[in-house]
Structures are given as C-alpha cells and as structure tokens.
Amino acid sequence: MKTTEIPEEKKYTAEEISYYINPSGSDENNGKTRETPFKTIQKAVDLAMPGDVIYLLDGNYEQDIISKRNGTKENPITITGSHAAAVKGGGGARAIEINHDHIVLENFTIDGLHGDPKKQSGYRDKLIYVQGKEKGSGVTGLKITRMNIRNGGGECIRLRYFAQENEISKNTIQNCGVHDFVFNAGGKNGEAIYIGTAPEQRTDGKNPTSDIDRSDRNWIHDNKIDTRGNECVDIKEDSSENIVENNSCTGQKDKESAGLDSRGSGNIFRNNEVFGNLGAGVRLGGDEKDDGIENDVYSNIIRDNRSGGIKIMREPQGKICSNDMARNGKGNFVGDYAENFSNKECD
C-alpha cells in the first residue's frame, strides 16, 4: 500500500456490463440489457461470476444484499452505477454484507434513511458490514470507492475478523451513528469506518472464532468524512499496519475519543485533515499497556478539535511529527502521556 494517483472513474461499455438492475424491473427478465433488467440486486449477485459487472440503474433500492462468491484479484465482481442509484436496505440489520474476497463497490449510494427521519426506526443499522465466515480467514481484496454512504443507525462501514488488504477510497461518508447520537439509544456506536473487533466483542458469537482479530494492512485514503457520530476511522486492538491517509475528517461527537483512533499498534495516520471534532483530533492507546503503541502520526492538519489535538493514552509511540496543529481546545497534546510529546518536525 503506497500513495498513488487514483485512476479516473471507470466508464463501462454495454459489452462490459453483465447484469442490469432497476427497481421497476423483474427477476423474470434476463437482466442482460437496460430494457430487460432484474428487479433485485441479489438476483444478479447470486449469478455473478469473477469478472462480472452489475450495473444499478437510477432509483431507490429497498433491498438488502449479501455476497455470494469470491471474485479474483484480476477479475473482481463489481457492483456499480451512479449516485442516483441508492441502496436503502430491505429491513435486515445490514444493508450490504460482504463475506467474500475481491468484491468492488463503486460509484453508487447507500442511504440508510428509509422511513421517518424523526424516528430511530427510520434508519438502517449497519450500512456495509464486512466479515469473513471461515475460521481464521477474513475478507481480502474488497474495494469501496467513489460511493456516497450516509445515514447509518450504527456503523457506516465495518471491517471485522481478519479483514486484510482491503481499500476504502474516494468516498463521501456522513451521518453515522444516528441511533445513539441523535436518538440517544444508550451507546456510542457510530463510526464511519470501523476496523477490527473490540476485545469485549470477541466472544459475542458473531465471529467464526474468538481469536484476536488481526484486521491488518487495510488502506483508507482520500475519503471525505463528516461522521456526526463517532470516529471517522476507528482501529481496534490487535489490528496493525493499516494506513489512513489523505482523508478529511470532521463532525465526531464523542469527547472521550477522537476523529481518528488507533487502539491497535503499528498503524499510520498521515496527510489527513482532522478538524471540528468534539473529541481530540487523533487518539492513540488501547485497553492494555501494550495496545495502541508504535503508531505513526505525521504531516496531518489537526485543528479546532474541542478535546485536544493528539490524545496519547499509551506509549511508546512511533513517528509523531510535522503535524500542523492549531486551536485545539485542551492543547495540541493531551492524555496520560501528553507531557512526553511535542510538535517537532520530522527528520
């Protein structure tokens, strides 16, 4: 994973599109043309093989989606469309669930608001939920790019259980955690992007095993995030080597946490703009003394965060330098080990 130029949006020819979907279509159609589309995305997902492209025509899709099979690195299974194609969920806890490798979600909308915006029940819970189903093996090769993702009752995107080498880029993500942060449901759930499994969740029966969750080497970049809930990116204990770069992060509302949070060790936050959060800009440190250490935080703009710039709850940390920090409410460095750090330039 390294900084690269992001390719321009791919335009698909009719010959490249395997299946068309339209909310007013029919699953009795063959799905092969715009004039004969399927009605449900799931119909196409069940049929799609590596290399196939599923195209969502404009409209609202009150449907849930669950992946069916793996793509390959060279030939992923792609779901695409325009931002006027909005998946709004069909009543399940997860609007889109990905259990397989090498899937691409690109250039459409996921909007969890399906009912009355003044009621908690009007919002779907998880918008994209990514979890491998095999013991010790998680989802890899997932790409979520150029999406509009909004109005999640809980997490907008969740990567869980050995989710490794996935890429989340160039998305606009906003309004996560509506259940807790708007309707006061009792928790603080509402991350825009959540990586890993918290220690207290390992034995909840949702993962195939209770192993520590090494959701490693994921690349989160060039996203515009206004969470209005909890963290823009939250990396849990034992998840490492994740790179979070070139993102804009604002709107976080938990004063105990931050816009960007690493409870895991050996993660990198660089070249992000983190501003206007109720918590700190960046928070480092996990449950135990050796959780959330050796993280790098450099070349970020960290400004106007109510509870501080960088909150350091464990040490040692990695490279923390060359951050442009100003007007952070409780100081540029806060937390249990703040006095051991200063805003120096990188070597």
pLDDT tens readout for residues 215-237: 999 999 999 999 999 999 999 99
Q: What is the DSSP letter of 6?
A: P
Q: What is the largest CA-CA distance in the chain?
A: 67
Kindly provide the b/e burial profile for residues 85-117, where b requires at least 16 CB atoms within 10 angstroms of the residue's own CB.
Answer: bbbbbbebebbbbbbbbbbbbbbbbbbbbbeee
pLDDT per residue as tens digits for the range 24-41: 999 999 999 999 999 999
pLDDT per residue as tens digits for the range 284-329: 999 999 999 999 999 999 999 999 999 999 999 999 999 999 999 9
Residue 1, pLDDT score: 44
Which range among 184-188, 198-202, 275-279 has the greatest average pLDDT? 275-279
Q: How far apart are CA 138 and CA 120, in angstroms?
A: 31
**Confidence check: pLDDT of 6 > 60:** no
Q: Which domains does the chain have, with CATH numbers?
A: 63-254 (2.160.20)
Residue 10, pLDDT score: 76
Residue 7, pLDDT score: 56
Residue 8, pLDDT score: 64
The percent of residues above 70 in pLDDT, for the chain, comes to: 97
Q: What is the mean pLDDT of residues 335-346?
A: 95
E strand or H helix that includes residue 42: helix 41-47
pLDDT per residue as tens digits for the range 256-287: 999 999 999 999 999 999 999 999 999 999 99
Please give the mean pLDDT across all residues of the chain. Answer: 96
Give the position of tokens 């992000």: 272
Q: What is the mean pLDDT of residues 125-141?
A: 96
Q: How far apart are CA 243 and CA 266, in angstroms?
A: 9
Q: What is the mean pLDDT of residues 70-81?
A: 98
336 confidence band (pLDDT: 50, 70, 90): very high
The percent of residues above 90 in pLDDT, for the chain, comes to: 92
**Confidence check: pLDDT of 184 > 80:** yes
Angle made by CA atoms 172, 174, 177, in degrees to the nearest 5: 145
Residue 4, pLDDT score: 43
Strand order in the sheet with 310-312: 65-66, 94-98, 126-131, 157-160, 193-195, 233-235, 258-262, 280-284, 310-312, 333-334
pTM of the model: 0.96
